[in-house]
């Protein structure tokens, strides 16, 4: 029995969905992780998410392209190519995706770092 529990925990953590606990940000469920992308569904205003993402990327690196109509930001952060997408799912729900690659290889650590900073900025703006 003692061997089954750690295996079960490892299995759940490697399934691609991790619970997210960051204040009162309005996260619906957990966040999904792929090899190079972190994604989450938020019950926040699209414009607020866009502004928080732009502010965070401006602080960390250089914005190459910011298309507000398409809700896509392309940037260079710590020599990594970063793409942030905001997808409107419903009137009250948006999906935030942060993708990061360095030298054509996934850089999930940076994607998670950017993602957490955006979530923290959103949390502070809603207090």
Domains of the chain as residue ranges with CATH: 4-125 (3.30.530.50)
- Give the pLDDT confidence of 37-85 residue by residue, as tens digits: 999 999 999 999 999 999 999 999 999 999 999 999 999 999 999 999 9
Q: Which residue has the higher pLDDT, 94 or 23?
A: 94
Quote the tokens at residue 82.
């970063």
Choose among 123, 127, 43, 119: nearest CA to 84.
119
pTM for this prediction: 0.75
- Give the pLDDT confidence of 85-104 residue by residue, as tens digits: 999 999 999 999 999 999 98
Convert 54-86 to b/e letters by CB count within 10 Å (16 or more is b): bebbeebbebeebeeeebebbbebeebbbbbbb
Q: Which pLDDT belongs to residue 8?
A: 34
Give the N- to C-terminal CA distance of the chain in Å, as an integer.
Answer: 45
Token pair 């061997």 is found at: 3
Q: Which pLDDT belongs to residue 26?
A: 43
């Amino acid at each position: 029995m003692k061997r089954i529990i750690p295996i079960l925990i490892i299995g759940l953590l490697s399934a691609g969905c991790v619970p997210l606990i960051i204040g009162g940000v309005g996260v619906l469920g957990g966040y999904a992780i792929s090899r190079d992308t972190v994604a989450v569904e938020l019950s926040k205003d699209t414009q607020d998410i866009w502004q928080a993402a732009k502010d965070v990327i401006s602080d960390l690196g250089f914005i190459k392209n910011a298309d507000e109509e398409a809700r896509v930001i392309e940037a260079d952060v710590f020599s990594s190519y970063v793409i942030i997408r905001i997808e409107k799912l419903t009137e009250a729900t948006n999906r935030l995706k942060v993708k990061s690659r360095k030298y054509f290889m996934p850089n999930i650590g940076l994607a998670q770092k950017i993602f957490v900073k955006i979530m923290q900025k959103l949390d502070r703006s809603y207090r």
